[in-house]
Amino acid sequence: MSGTSESTMLNPGLDPGVQVARAREDVVVGDEIVRHRLATRVVHWLTALSFFVALFCGLPIFSPLFGWMAPLFGGLAVCRWFHPWSGVAFVAFSAVMFVQWVGEMKLERSEWGWFGTRMVRYLKHQGDDSDAGKYNGGQKIFFWAATLGAIGLLATGTVLWFPESFGQLLRELSIVLHDLVVLLFLVAIVFHIYLGTVAEPGTFGSMTRGTVSKAWARLHHPRWYREVTGDAAHRD
């Protein structure tokens, strides 16, 4: 229900933005806009949680350098058993997240520049966001990279889980690729967390409360702001 203010019957004792964000998004509520409904937020956080659980019980298997982490899970033997299952949980949550977001993540022709210099300018806070819709090109690329990464981890992880079922070459290739994908994923996640928290104040609330301020939307995602509010005046 874009372009309208939300004024349906709400519990006056509860925060109106948070109430509307339980089931709906892209809706104006007072000075706020609902960005992520509850179901999307729950799936995002389950994906994030399972990612870090799989990472932390996988690191002691990867190298004795991280052996000190194993007791957190009950020892190395438990890590070896638990890591593939937490990995499966991560891939399953990623799959649900994919279905929830894929419709909004198609890269437009004007966003192809994000594969190059535009991404660098954005990370240096020198980017021009004036035409950004609900997600900018960098976020869309991160979405597709995370999807590819999850598929890569599943494919290579399966080979490592059942080594007797595969040839030596595939096993060796899978070890290298599994570790490489984790490394790339970690680099991307560090930037993702930085951008979603300290770098852009107000963004984190979109994944906790579900809402952002109108000012935040106007600054970072002006086209989405215009679509949701119907306010064509802000074309800066």
Residues at the interface with ligand HEM (CB under 6 A): 35, 44, 47-48, 51, 135, 139, 142-143, 146, 189, 192-193, 196-197, 203-204, 206-207
Measured N-to-C along each axis, helices 76-101 and 38-62 cross at an angle, to the nearest 10 degrees, of: 150
Query: Which residue has its beta carbon closest to ligand HEM?
Result: 196
Q: What's the token pair of residue 191?
A: 């930037």
Q: How far is the CB of 165 from ligand HEM (least distance, A)?
A: 27
Q: Which is nearer to ligand HEM, 192 or 223 (CB)?
A: 192
Q: How far is the CB of 207 from ligand HEM (least distance, A)?
A: 4
Kindly give, in sequence order, each residue whose CB lies less than 8 Å from that of residue 207, ignoring residues fewer than 6 positions away. 36, 41, 44, 45, 196
Q: How far is the CB of 60 from ligand HEM (least distance, A)?
A: 20
Q: Which is nearer to ligand HEM, 44 or 80 (CB)?
A: 44
- β-strand partners of 28: 5, 33
Q: How far is the CB of 141 from ligand HEM (least distance, A)?
A: 9
Contact 50, 89 (CB under 8 A): yes
Q: Which is nearer to ligand HEM, 15 or 200 (CB)?
A: 200
Q: How far is the CB of 64 from ligand HEM (least distance, A)?
A: 26
Distance CA 131, CA 128 (A): 8
Q: Which is nearer to ligand HEM, 31 or 172 (CB)?
A: 31
CB-neighbour burial class of residue 198 (10 A; exposed 0-12, middle 13-18, buried 19+): exposed
Q: List the 211-213 sheet strands across, edge first.
A: 27-29, 32-34, 211-213
Q: Which is nearer to ligand HEM, 70 or 181 (CB)?
A: 181
